Amino acid sequence: MKRPHVLASAAVSIDGFLDDASPQRLVLSGPADLDRVDAERASVDAILVGAGTVRADDPRLLVRSPDRRADRVERGLGPSPLRVVLSSQAVDPGARVLTEGRDVADTVVLAGTPHEVLDHLAGHGVVRLMVEGGAGVHREFLGAGVVDELQLAVAPRLVGDGPRFTGAPDEAHLVEARTVGPDVLLRYRFGDADARWLGEACSLAERCPPSPSAFSVGCVVVAADGTVLATGHSRRDDVLDHAEEVALRDVDRADPRLPGATIYTSLEPCGQRASRPVTCAQHILDAGIGRVVMAWREPPLFVGTPSGAARLEAAGVEVVECPGFEDLARRPNRHR
Ligand SMILES: NC(=O)c1ccc[n+]([C@@H]2O[C@H](COP(=O)([O-])OP(=O)(O)OC[C@H]3O[C@@H](n4cnc5c(N)ncnc54)[C@H](OP(=O)(O)O)[C@@H]3O)[C@@H](O)[C@H]2O)c1
Ligand SMILES: [Zn+2]
């Protein structure tokens, strides 16, 4: 069984603290970032924290937004993800993670190494896991090399003393840096280049507006030197949009980096479509991109016609199907 994709998320002060030394809970990031984290929570199958965080902050670990809960239900999921507490002992039965929100999410208490915990969760159908801390759990998961993506919100605060954000991960690769209200969101990926970018494409698929009938796909176009040239996801600008089509809409067709670039996509590019005249395979050929890495092959819709991958290969494009990503790519398509 493939271990879950692990998204570690934390808010830190400029000087790298997760909290101050006082007993009260310190909320570091602003309302806009808390809402962004809520959207990430809604995109995963389970949220994990250590018992230290339950003792210090007593969080509920629920999706707050009613719209996001409703979207999850529409996608055949529970309103809020499974809640996982790591502890070697019994958790205080009065903790809010156990007493609140039981109608929208279950809570489990687990112990074990990060690998054992991830294997256990995979066995329970968890494909995407969000690790929300605290200091000990982040250090343990980063140190074990099991984190695929790290989202760090840096708040404009100098705390001076308290639990620190630390770990000994592999080299982190920055995929996004942007302001969210007064905070700065830094998104990093770990792992080898193809896995890193395909993971990014699968994360982008989680941003697709829900659709009862169309696929939710994400893609990223990356130059040979690792520069992101464009990203896309299904229905980004219009209800008929395909992910590859919107990404390629954003690239300059004269860019000399395109022949050496790779397009990473969570689903095989379409080779037949009814919604618009130009297929994504054709868009890729028109852009002159030489390499396609995909997570999941499209179930055949039109028997007897060449698939997108076959069309691309026939035109000399290298097509790679990256093993181990199918569950992640299928996740936003669960209702299908
Ligand atoms: N800024 C942020 O984003 C953020 C987010 C979360 C938390 N925090 C802060 O982080 C601080 C808490 O961090 P922390 O390091 O004290 O606690 P923690 O990392 O939340 O939890 C550590 C505890 O988790 C349990 N644990 C960890 N790994 C385990 C494993 N593999 N198997 C079984 N149990 C395991 C142990 O609990 P037992 O002792 O029960 O065995 C351990 O003592 C608080 O100050 C909180 O405010 C900040
Ligand atoms: Zn398409």
Cβ-defined contacts of 245-249 (< 8 Å, 24+):
245/276, 245/278, 245/280, 245/283, 247/219, 247/220, 247/221, 248/221, 248/283, 248/284, 248/286, 248/287
Q: What is the CATH number of the domain that holds 95?
A: 3.40.430.10
Calculate the average pLDDT of the chain: 94
In this structure, of 171-175, 268-272, 312-316, the range with the lowest mean pLDDT score is 171-175
Q: What is the CATH number of the domain that holds 246?
A: 3.40.140.10
Q: Does ligand 1 have an atom closer than 6 angstroms to the CB of 175? A: no
Asked if pLDDT for residue 1 goes beyond 80, the answer is no
Q: Are 184 and 40 in contact (CB under 8 A)?
A: no
Distance between CA atoms of 205 and 332, rounded to whole angstroms?
7
Q: Of the residues 137, 160, 191, which one is the last residue of a structural domain?
A: 191
pLDDT, residue 191, reads: 85
What does the pLDDT average to over 214-221?
96
The number of distinct structural domains making up the chain is: 2
Q: Does ligand 1 have an atom closer than 6 angstroms to the CB of 21? A: no
Please state whether 243 falls in left (phi above 0), alpha (psi between -120 and 50) or beta: alpha
Q: Does ligand 1 have an atom closer than 6 angstroms to the CB of 87? A: yes
Most ligand 1 atoms within 8 A of CB, residue of 37, 83, 137 to mutate? 137
Scanning the structure block, which residue is given the tokens 């494009």?
Answer: 317
Shared domain check, 223 and 115: no
Q: How many CA atoms lie within 13 A of 187 on its CB side?
A: 17
State pLDDT tens for residues 32-41: 999 999 999 9
State pLDDT tens for residues 40-60: 999 999 999 999 999 999 999
Shared domain check, 141 and 221: no
pLDDT, residue 304, reads: 59
Q: Of the residues 191, 209, 240, which one is the last residue of a structural domain?
A: 191
Show the domain range for 232: 195-333
What does the pLDDT average to over 249-272?
95
The end-to-end CA distance of the chain, in Å, is 22
pLDDT, residue 302, reads: 57
Three-state SS letters, 76-110: CCCCCCEEEEECCCCCCCCCHHHHCCCCCCCEEEE
What does the pLDDT average to over 146-168?
95
